[in-house]
Amino acid sequence: MKTKIFKFAATLLCGMFALASCEQKIQPELPVFPTFEETTVFVEAGSATTLEFEANLDGVLSVTGDAPQWFWLDRDGDQLENLPVNAGKNSFTIVASEVEEFDSNRVCEVSLTMGGQTKKIITYIRAAKNRTVALYTAKVDDGEWVYEGGD
């Protein structure tokens, strides 16, 4: 009787080891970042640009660089620096400030974080406005100032 119980226990133990060794390891899904034809886009002051892409994992979309003063993500009128991304099709609105800038170009880098990895996917540049100066010459003619030129 003891031999039958021992053989049964040994068979059961071998069966458990065999089933445990057949377990498949689940590999984590690697993020596939979107690519765009143009990775640098020039935008006008006060413009809103729609960014559409597909993501294979959930993540976070962020604007960096000269943000948030000059660029931000818009959701229902709120100015945000980060927004959640869902697996599948996504659409986001990126807004450039209306404030006029004469000194330097303003740059916004849009980054996507998925699966613990972060990658810059597109860059928006808002060019500085040109400064213009018009010169006029003036002379006094019969006590009146007369202006000439300007072009």
State which H helix or E strand residue 110 sits in: strand 106-114
pLDDT in tens, 32-91: 888 888 888 899 888 999 999 999 999 999 998 765 788 899 988 888 899 999 999 999
Rounded Cα gap, residues 41 and 54, in angstroms: 19
pLDDT in tens, 76-115: 888 889 999 999 999 999 998 888 877 788 888 999 999 8
pLDDT band at 20 (very low <50, low <70, confident <90, very high): low
**Would you say how long the chain is, in residues?**
151
